[in-house]
Structure 1
Amino acid sequence: MLKVEEIQALIELVDRSNLDEFEFENDGTVIKMKKNTGVQVIERPVREVAQVSAPPQMPAQPRQLAENPQPEAPAQAADENLHKIVSPMVGTFYQAGSPEEEPYVQIGSKVSPNTVVCMIEAMKLFNEIEAEVEGEIVDILVKDGQLVEFGQPLFLVKTK
């Protein structure tokens, strides 16, 4: 069994070191030390607040909602002819078949349903992604080499 002086010496050594955690076992005695990181998360239950009704002579005031929570109609009208080409899988987005090659498509490129627009690498397999619509590429929403999620928009295409 360790003496109090030995335990205090260990505490001082760990305190002066760059260690965040320390565990010591000797003859069946285990000492675990963790430094305080300065960040402490405390969860407390949310208290319910009793609702106070307004006096009878004063009607309750309606709450103000955030202004324009809905997108504006003109913006929606502009997006009606835009088709999103989305990622069918999680992986890495590539604009070309190899770093030396030109990108499959650029902004302004005309595409047909079977035009390859990019590749997505997933688990060491390279998957060609086709436009699936006819139109013109108006925006490329991801960068070459970027990780993409399933369903993430990759391109905007102005359809005919």
Structure 2
Amino acid sequence: MLKVEDIRAIIEAVDQSSLTSFKFKQDGVKLHISKKAGEVQVVQQVVQEQAQPAPVKTEAPAVAVTNAPVQEAPVPVQEEVEAPSEEGLVEIVSPMVGTFYAAASPEADNYVAVGDRVTETSIVCIVEAMKLFNEIEAEVNGEIVDILVEDGQLVEYGQPLFLVRPN
């Protein structure tokens, strides 16, 4: 099973290479990454297939790497969000590709709101990746100035989630 760190390393390697498409399949996990104009996009999320009895003979994992353009469904373009013009704000960014959740469950209150004070160890949100719910810590002491994403929104590695005015 691929770990989040492995996926991050693959995304960085594809981003820094001249490859335009990368496909990986192993043990029922499929990963397809493609990039356009130097921008990496995860085109197909990692999918865990239902486990089926494995054949007795062993085979090498299938890995396909091509430079040919890949026909994909259009990826929605996100508009850039203008950050407050204050200087000295710190961004809390997503450490992985996944789905942003502002609360532990739909019935629970959000972890933070604009104006809340946070410490380095304060949980500010959850990013779900591969059915794992990862609590994201603020890693900075300060006040939440802006929340840059919506609950349930897909986020990319390194995408700003919050703006914080540090103490």
So what's the TM-score if we normalise by structure 2?
Answer: 0.49
Tell me if 1:139 matches 2:146: yes
Q: Rg bigger for which structure?
A: 1
More strand by percentage: 2
Instruction: Tell me the SS of whatever aligns to 1:104.
Output: coil
Tell me if 1:120 matches 2:127: yes
* Alpha-carbon separation, structure 1, partners of 2:105 and 2:94: 19
Q: How many residues align?
A: 83
* Alpha-carbon separation, structure 1, partners of 2:162 and 2:100: 11
- The CA deviation at 1:83 is 0.4
Where in structure 2 are the equivalents of 1:3-152 lying within 5 Å? 75=85, 78-79=86-87, 81-152=88-159
- The CA deviation at 1:136 is 0.2
* Alpha-carbon separation, structure 1, partners of 2:135 and 2:116: 17
More helix by percentage: 1
5+ residue gaps, structure 1: 1-74
> After TM superposition, which residue ranges in structure 1, 4 or more long, deviate above 3 angstroms?
none
CA offsets, 1:89-110, max 9 Å, x none? 0000000000000000000000
Q: Which amino acid aligns with 1:98?
A: S
Tell me if 1:155 matches 2:165: no
Q: Which amino acid aligns with 2:103?
A: A
- The CA deviation at 1:119 is 0.1
- The CA deviation at 1:154 is 0.1
* Alpha-carbon separation, structure 2, partners of 1:82 and 1:128: 22
Aligned-pair Cα RMSD in Å: 0.7
Instruction: Tell me the SS of whatever aligns to 1:157.
Output: strand
Q: Which amino acid aligns with 1:135?
A: G
CA offsets, 1:49-103, max 9 Å, x none? xxxxxxxxxxxxxxxxxxxxxxxxxx5xx22x20000000000000000000000
Identical columns (%):
66
CA offsets, 1:8-64, max 9 Å, x none? xxxxxxxxxxxxxxxxxxxxxxxxxxxxxxxxxxxxxxxxxxxxxxxxxxxxxxxxx
* Alpha-carbon separation, structure 2, partners of 1:118 and 1:84: 14
So what's the TM-score if we normalise by structure 1?
Answer: 0.51
Q: Which amino acid aligns with 1:103?
A: N
- The CA deviation at 1:133 is 0.4
* Alpha-carbon separation, structure 1, partners of 2:127 and 2:94: 8
